């Protein structure tokens, strides 16, 4: 039995919720709605493009909410609440520095290239910019990452349902996997996206009451500040220099780690090239809607931090087991238990059904996002473009459905790899440093430097990935001594430098693609008139206005917590 699972089982009596029939009925009703959406979406699936990219027909508000909901899975809900309980206000960096600037960059700079090229995936874009071997390498890396991340969502759901309701862990994993498989298999990406929109609102309806009731229990914000201070956790009330979060002893070094490591290297690597999120923008009905997708998503992304991080901080003073963790004392719970413990502590029976549906919604949203992007990349980039080209569209539609089943089964198999991490976000940030950061380094280098060759892109991507893995291994065996998520930030930085340096050195000895072949793929070779996205009427549709709004909100969050 894994350590994390043993902890969950040991903690079962502490966490168990006395759910009533009405709670189970609400959860059952939610499952029926989710499956119903899959059945409805199936009516519009007649081609592989419909199944894998929703026929590029969805409005911006739908793709925007799906974009943020795809990220709001178990890893976000449990992991960031765990960060709130462990690091306090320092965890806001994952949103206001570690997401918003990158989402704005994606919208204003990269989305015109993505959507304008009419590629079906990020690896396919790399294939056009570099060559087939780079596309295939990234397709394989992304497929591995998607299965691992889907497994994280399943594992997180299993330990929570096991602890709260007493379901066997294997049963919880299988039930969630089968439900996600059912609606994704039936309706493809459209079913996943419309369910993600629903799941976004269910998650918000769950977390807002927890935040309000929790603050009331601790005496409001001033009461929370006072209790954290009495606990000796004053660092949780200071966003900077975030030394607890980074594990870097120097205040200046830690600040640079947050701004450059998280705010640039890791976040840009994730938000701008991770196909799980970018796929939602690809499904938009036109280029303008695709460009607005990450900006619309950024508005709730700024605000959702308040109802995820603050509950974690409340758990640090309200839940004895987590308070013991803060003091370095033995405890039968982990930081990952913050949300389910608050559920049991704060919410009355009757509302538990809604709350449980919210938790399950988070788990299924994250897993569905990973599975739907996995089947797209595998079908298009590995199967159609490499292993079995030249077949009719019906064949690839069936392949997409088959791969959906395979991806779900593999996710069940990888669900326990996250067991060695007491904080899920440590594991997630490690995976990002492996798979997302090197990709962004090569992608951005190739976007702005026309002489980067296909071979340079391939070896830059591979060497960057291997260097991030090496940093992780060195930290695990004790050669490096970085606690928290410092090793992920360092690994991401090393991966960026190595990927760019290797790509540059190899490209100097090679021959770049003809400039005519790079139009629309390289910034300097794409006229401004081509990069420009047609504008739609209404100031609220202006990418510039939306960008200013979300950046002001992010800065305003830091200002607010600096003065309260």
Domain ranges (residues) in the chain: 52-562
pLDDT tens sequence across 437-468: 899 899 889 989 999 999 999 999 999 999 99
Q: How far apart are CA 492 and CA 269, in angstroms?
A: 9
pLDDT at 55: 57
pLDDT tens sequence across 189-203: 666 777 777 778 878
Q: How far apart are CA 377 and CA 400, in angstroms?
A: 9
Stretch 376-396: mean pLDDT? 85
**Where residue 302 falls among pLDDT bands split at 50, 70, 90?**
very high
DSSP 396-429: HHHHHHHHHHHHHHHHHHTTTGGGG-SSHHHHHH
Q: State how far Cα 159 lies from the chain centre.
A: 20
Q: How far apart are CA 152 and CA 6, in angstroms?
A: 17
Q: Please tell me the least confidently modeled range out of 47-56, 129-138, 413-422, 517-526.
A: 47-56
Task: Say if residues 296 and 546 touch (Cβ distance below 8 Å).
Answer: yes
pLDDT at 30: 75
pLDDT at 312: 92
Per the omega criterion (within 30 degrees of 0), is the bond before 310 cis?
A: no
Query: Homologous superfamily of 52-562 in CATH?
Result: Sodium/glucose cotransporter (1.20.1730.10)
pLDDT at 13: 46
Beta-ladder partners of 550: none
Q: How distant, in Å, are the alpha carbons of 42, 380, 505 from that of 140?
A: 28, 12, 24
Q: How far apart are CA 525 and CA 448, in angstroms?
A: 9
Which of 329, 343, 316, 311 lies closest to 227, judged by CA? 316
Which of 151, 167, 227, 215 lies closest to 424, judged by CA? 151
Q: How far apart are CA 183 and CA 195, in angstroms?
A: 9
Classify residue 514 as left (phi > 0), alpha (psi -120 to 50) or beta. beta
DSSP 342-392: HHHHHPPTTTHHHHHHHHHHHHHHHHHHHHHHHHHHIIIIIIIIIISTT--
Mean of pLDDT over the chain: 82
Stretch 522-530: mean pLDDT? 82
pLDDT at 299: 94
Above 90 in pLDDT, residue 112?
no
Q: What is the pTM of this model?
A: 0.80
pLDDT at 256: 84
pLDDT at 45: 63
Above 90 in pLDDT, residue 392?
no
Of residues 336 and 133, the one with the higher pLDDT is: 133
């Amino acid at each position: 039995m894994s350590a994390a699972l043993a902890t969950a089982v040991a903690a079962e009596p502490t966490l168990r919720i006395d759910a009533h029939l009405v709670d189970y009925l609400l959860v059952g009703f939610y499952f029926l709605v989710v499956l119903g959406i899959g059945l409805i979406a199936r009516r519009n699936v007649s081609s592989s493009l419909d199944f894998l990219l929703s026929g590029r027909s969805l409005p911006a508000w739908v793709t925007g909410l799906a974009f943020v909901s795809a990220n709001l899975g178990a890893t976000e809900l449990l992991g960031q609440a765990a960060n709130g309980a462990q690091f306090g206000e320092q965890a806001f960096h994952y949103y206001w520095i570690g997401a918003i600037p990158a989402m704005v960059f994606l919208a204003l700079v990269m989305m015109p290239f993505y959507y304008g090229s009419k590629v079906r995936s990020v690896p396919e874009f790399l294939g056009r910019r570099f060559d087939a071997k780079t596309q295939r390498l990234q397709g394989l890396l992304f497929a591995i990452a998607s299965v691992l991340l889907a497994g994280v969502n399943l594992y997180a759901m299993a330990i929570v349902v096991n602890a709260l309701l007493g379901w066997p862990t294997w049963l919880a994993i299988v039930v969630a996997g089968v439900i996600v498989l059912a609606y994704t298999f039936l309706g493809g990406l459209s079913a996943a996206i419309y369910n993600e929109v629903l799941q976004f609102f269910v998650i918000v309806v769950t977390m807002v009451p927890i935040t309000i009731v929790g603050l009331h229990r601790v005496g409001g914000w001033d009461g929370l500040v006072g209790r954290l201070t009495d606990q000796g956790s004053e660092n949780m009330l200071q966003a900077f220099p975030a030394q607890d979060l980074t594990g870097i002893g120097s205040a200046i070094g830690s600040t640079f780690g947050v701004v450059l490591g998280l705010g640039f290297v890791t976040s840009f690597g994730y938000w701008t090239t991770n196909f799980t999120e970018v796929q939602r923008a690809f499904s938009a009905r036109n280029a303008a809607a695709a460009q607005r997708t990450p900006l619309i998503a950024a508005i709730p992304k700024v605000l959702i931090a308040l109802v995820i991080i603050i509950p974690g901080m409340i758990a640090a003073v309200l839940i004895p087991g987590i308070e013991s963790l803060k003091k370095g004392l033995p405890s039968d719970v982990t930081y990952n238990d913050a949300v389910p413990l608050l559920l049991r502590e704060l919410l009355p029976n009757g509302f538990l059904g809604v709350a449980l549906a919210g938790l399950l919604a988070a788990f299924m949203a994250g897993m569905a996002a990973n599975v739907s992007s996995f089947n797209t990349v595998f079908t298009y980039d590995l199967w159609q473009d490499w292993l079995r080209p030249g077949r009719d569209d019906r064949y690839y539609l069936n392949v997409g459905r088959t791969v959906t089943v395979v991806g779900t089964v593999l996710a069940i198999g990888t669900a326990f790899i996250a067991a060695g991490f007491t904080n899920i976000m440590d594991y997630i940030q490690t995976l990002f440093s492996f798979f997302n950061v090197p990709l962004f380094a090569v992608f951005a280098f190739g976007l702005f430097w026309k002489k980067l060759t296909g071979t340079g892109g391939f070896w830059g991507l591979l060497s960057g990935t291997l260097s991030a893995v090496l940093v992780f291994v060195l930290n695990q065996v004790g050669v490096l001594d970085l606690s928290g998520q410092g090793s992920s930030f360092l690994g991401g930085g090393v991966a960026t430098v190595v990927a760019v340096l290797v790509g540059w050195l190899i490209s100097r000895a090679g021959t770049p693609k003809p400039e005519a072949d790079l139009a629309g793929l390289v910034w300097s070779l794409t006229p401004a008139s081509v990069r420009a996205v047609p504008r739609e009427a209404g100031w609220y549709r202006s990418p510039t206005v939306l960008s200013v709004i979300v950046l002001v909100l992010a800065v305003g969050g830091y200002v607010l917590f600096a003065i309260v």
